[in-house]
Amino acid sequence: MSGLAVCERNADGVWTLCPSADALSEEAGDAAALSAVVPAEATGRVVIDLRGAGALQTLGVVLLQRCVKTLEARGLEVRLKADADQGRILGALGGVVPEPLVADRSRGLDRVLRGLLSLHEAAIESAWLLRNTLKHSLIQTLRPRGRDDGRMLSQITQIGFDAIPLVALISSMLGLILALQSAPILRMWGQELRVADLVGLSMCKEIGPLLTAVLVAGRSGSALAAEIGTMKLNDELDAMTVMGVDPVGVLVAPRMRAMLLALPLVTLMGDVLGMMGGFFIGTTVLDIAPQQYINQTLEQVPINDVFGGLVKAALFGIVIVTVSAWQGFAASGGASGVGRSTTRSVVYSILWIIVVDAIYTAVDTSLAL
Amino acid sequence: MSTTNGTAPIAIRTTGLSCGYDGRVVLQDVNIAVPQGRITCVLGGSGCGKSTLLKTLLMLEPAMGGSIYIGADDMCCCDNARLQVLRRSVGVLFQGAALFNSLTLLENVAFPLLELTELDEAIATETARLKLALVGLAPYAHFLPAEVSGGMRKRCGIARALVRDPAILFLDEPGAGLDPTTSAGLDRMILGIRNRLGTTIVVVTHELPSIHAIADHCIMLAGGRVIAQGTLEQVGASGAPGVREFFERIPPDEPQPTEGLATLLLP
Ligand SMILES: Nc1ncnc2c1ncn2[C@@H]1O[C@H](COP(=O)(O)OP(=O)(O)O)[C@@H](O)[C@H]1O
Ligand SMILES: [Mg+2]
């Protein structure tokens, strides 16, 4: 402590605090310790003599300000003694900084309440967006223009082709896993052949569409949200709007059309590869004859169910594009805002995919019963 | 129709307009008139709401009150179709240029033509090339916005705003970030557009040399209000606080310390 400063009382009874250069440096600077050097019995006036402290810098000024505040709070009257250079620095930096304006950002409970209110708004916004997107998609399909089709084709590449390796790998592995997991149970009942039904039905009706949609939401939904969000921050959406071009038509509709085409096709591929995984396990581990396995699959997996799965995939595609585009348009608050929107686009897409899945299944099964 | 400077009819008029974001008012009680076929400069310190005013005039941000007339249309209560028609006669350069990052400069300039007209692609590209040459960017036609400098992006933004020969041109700080020579060239170009095409031009700027070179009419903003408008001489002579400081580049008074460490100094 004594390395930081010395504090002495001179003949007139005035306390003088002499900080060393260290006391105001980045390495050892400590305002609390500095003010503590002034002994508790000190009263009246304290002079801080800076002349031994060397050149002052911004940090030194801030530390001094704190120290002075603490001492004044103890009822002392503080004065400074400084050389000419230090005096100039104190004049330039030692002023009182005005309090910043309070930015009105809601926190805590307020934020939750506001969030609930904005749910209603979000529902309206995304419904409007969906309607607008479908309208533009319909127009672009009925009245084809080279540019729109070009955009759609490039999106089909990004949404469909580029997703093939990932979807193929994961679906075939899942087919393998499903067959392996169910084999011991089915064997107990002597129903090994039923592996074909189990893998086929679960892939086509549920796992294929769901898995593919989740993967595509992660790949392409997030990309859509990030692109629209960045364009919004960059005023590009405003630029389009003032040109009289609807951003939905340029950015969202081509993706919707591409998604409606690509997602069912990729899903179908996933279904088939999943069943091939099951086929591999069935014919090797379970010793089912290949022809028998194929016949069992063809018999037990009705084409309607496969088709139903593809309809579901198309619905999921609509969900992904709408949710992601809506999140992109709602982005605000700089790069971190775009990041948040991107994350949310994936989370909300998956959430709504499950909801749509549940509703579809409920309707589908109640019709069948 | 009312006039300013005795001659020009009014292209844009606002009455009691207030603008802002999410309930926070940035500008209030804005009553301005933009003369047709003239260059109107919107002046004011940084952060005083010039871009906000522009966005509100373009109906990109909803007005918080008052009305905006473009020609005879009240923008605040005209339907979407009418708004769309009005927007097609407007060209805008945004403060950050707002080029589409995935398109080359040429494609950016051709974008409005290709999206909004049934023009042949070759003709649209040819027109776009012409406009790019006008702002001196012809050699960079196939560069992406990320591959050129900020000033070049600005100039490309101007070319895009001009590509459909708009009746009203809005330029948000066209000269910011340009060297003096290019900036002077830009001023000459803006004057040329007015003289040859009779375009109504609204320029947001705080570059004094440009203001002196191009302004027919000025609107000066400060403290959330319009503090002066009229010709450059009228604004200069208006005596409103802040005007003289702006034109003569007088910095605000340095605050004398009345509190703080300096006041504790012993002689
Ligand atoms: N998107 C926004 N959301 C909220 N406030 C904004 C936004 N953009 C600008 N502002 C505020 O509006 C005021 C005016 O900004 P702006 O119009 O950009 O000023 P300038 O005159 O420099 O163009 C600033 O105080 C700024 O904080
Ligand atoms: Mg601005």
Q: Which amino acid is at A53?
A: A
**Which ligand 1 atom sits closest to the C-alpha of B95?**
23
A91 and A188 co-located in one domain: no
Whole-model pTM? 0.81
- Tell me if A140 is assigned to some domain: yes
- Number of domains present in the structure of chain A: 2
**Arithmetic mean of pLDDT over chain B:** 87
Would strands B3-4 and A77-81 be described as parallel, antiparallel, or unpaired? unpaired
CA nearest ligand 1 atom 20, residue: B47
Report yes or no: A241 and A342 within 8 Å, Cβ to Cβ: no
Per-residue pLDDT reduced to its tens digit, A97-155: 777 776 666 566 677 777 777 788 888 888 999 999 999 999 999 988 888 889 999 99
On chain A, the residues whose CB falls within 8 A of the CB of B107 are: none
- Flag whether A269 is in a domain: yes
| pLDDT confidence band for A79 (50 / 70 / 90) | confident
Closest C-alpha among B107, B117, B94 to residue B174: B94
Nearest CA to ligand 1 atom 27: B47
Domain contains A113: no
Domain identity same for A252 and A329: yes
Examine the pLDDT at A1 and tell me if it is beyond 60: no
Q: Are residues A147 and A97 in the same domain?
A: no
For the stretch B145-169, what's the b/e string if a residue is b when 16 or more beta carbons lie within 10 angstroms of its beta carbon?
Answer: beebeebbbbbbbbbbbbbbebbbb
Report CB contact under 8 Å: A235, B94.
Answer: yes
Cβ(B47) – ligand 1 distance below 6 Å: yes
The whole-number pLDDT of residue B4 equals 45
How do residues A150-170 score in pLDDT, each as one tens digit?
A: 999 999 999 999 999 999 999
What tokens appear for A298 in the block?
């063809």
Based on the domain organization, do A158 and A281 belong to the same domain?
yes
Task: Determine what percent of chain B is predicted with pLDDT higher than 90.
Answer: 45
Q: Is A241 on the interface with B (CB under 8 A)?
A: yes
Is residue A185 classed exposed, middle or buried when 0-12, 13-18 and 19+ CB atoms within 10 A define those classes? exposed
CB-ligand 1 contact for B21 (6 Å cutoff): yes
Superfamily of chain region B37-49+166-265: P-loop containing nucleotide triphosphate hydrolases (3.40.50.300)
Q: C-alpha distances in angstroms, A264 versus A2, A222, A288, A355? A: 77, 19, 30, 19
CA A121 to chain centre: 21
Structure tokens at B45: 């310190």
Check: CB of residue A356 under 8 Å from CB of residue A315.
yes
Give percent of chain A with pLDDT exceeding 90. 56
Q: Supply φ then ψ for residue B260, to 5 degrees.
A: 95, 180
Which three-class secondary structure state does DSSP give residue B142? Answer: coil
**CATH number of the CATH domain containing A45:** 3.30.750
pLDDT surpassing 80 at residue B7: no
For residue A59, what are the domain limits? Answer: 5-101
In contact, A239 and A301? CB cutoff 8 Å: no
B1 has pLDDT over 70: no
DSSP state at residue B229: E
Distance (Å, whole) CA A167 – CA A172: 8
Could you tell me if B202 and B34 are in contact, meaning their C-beta atoms sit under 8 angstroms apart? yes
B52 pocket-lining for ligand 1 (C-beta < 6 Å): yes
Rounded to whole angstroms, how far apart are CA atoms B5 and B39?
A: 13
In contact, A225 and A119? CB cutoff 8 Å: no
Q: Is the pLDDT of residue B2 over 50?
A: no
- Between residues A316 and B136, the one the model is more confident about: A316
Tell whether ligand 1 has an atom less than 6 A from the beta carbon of residue B56.
Answer: no
Cβ–Cβ below 8 Å for B260 and A95:
yes
How many Å apart are CA A259 and CA A279, to the nearest integer? 29
Query: From CA B12, how far away is CA B74, in angstroms rounded?
Result: 10
Predicted confidence at residue A228, as pLDDT, reads: 96
The CB of B40 under 6 Å from ligand 1? The reply is no
Residue A197 lies in a domain: yes
> Positive or negative CA dihedral for A238, A239, A240, A243?
positive
Q: Which of the ligands is closest to the CA of residue B94?
A: 2
Please check whether residue A340 lies inside any domain of the structure.
yes
CA–centroid distance, residue B49 to ligand 1 (Å): 6
Q: Are residues A20 and A156 in the same domain?
A: no
d(CA A165, CA A157): 13
Q: Which residue of A has its CA nearest to B158?
A: A239
C-alpha distance from A244 to closest chain B C-alpha (Å): 6
* A172 shares a domain with A97: no
Predicted complex ipTM: 0.86
Q: How far apart are CA A326 and CA A347, in angstroms?
A: 13
Task: Give burial (CB, 10 Å; 0-12/13-18/19+) of A100.
Answer: exposed
Whether chain B has a CB inside 8 Å of the CB on A80: the answer is: yes
| Distance (Å) of CA A349 to CA A129, A152, A258, A261, A344 | 15, 21, 17, 18, 8
Same domain, residue pair A18 and A85: yes
pLDDT tens profile B30-88: 999 999 999 999 998 888 899 999 999 998 888 888 899 987 778 777 777 888 888 88
